[in-house]
Amino acid sequence: REKVDGTSLPMPIHPSKVMITQLNLDDRWRREILKRKGGSQKTEKAGQTPSESEAA
C-alpha cells in the first residue's frame, strides 16, 4: 500500500486470515519440532518423512 506522497506502508496481516499451503521441511529445526509435537502424519502427507530426509 502506498501513501499519496509515494512512500510505502506495510500492510498488517491478521494470523487468522493466513492459510499454510506448503510446509518447508528443509529445516532440521522445524522437522524436530514437528516430530516432537506429533506432526509426523502431516509430514508423510507432504511426501517426505523426517527420517527419510535425515538419511539422505
**Is the CB of residue 51 less than 8 Å from the CB of residue 32?**
no
Using an 8 Å Cβ cutoff, are 49 and 43 in contact?
Answer: yes
pLDDT tens series, the chain, 56 aa:
788 898 999 999 999 999 989 888 888 998 898 889 885 555 555 555 555 555 54
Rg of the chain, C-alpha, whole Å: 18
Q: How many CB atoms lie within 10 A of CB 27?
A: 9
- Answer for the pair 34, 42: CB distance below 8 angstroms, yes or no: yes
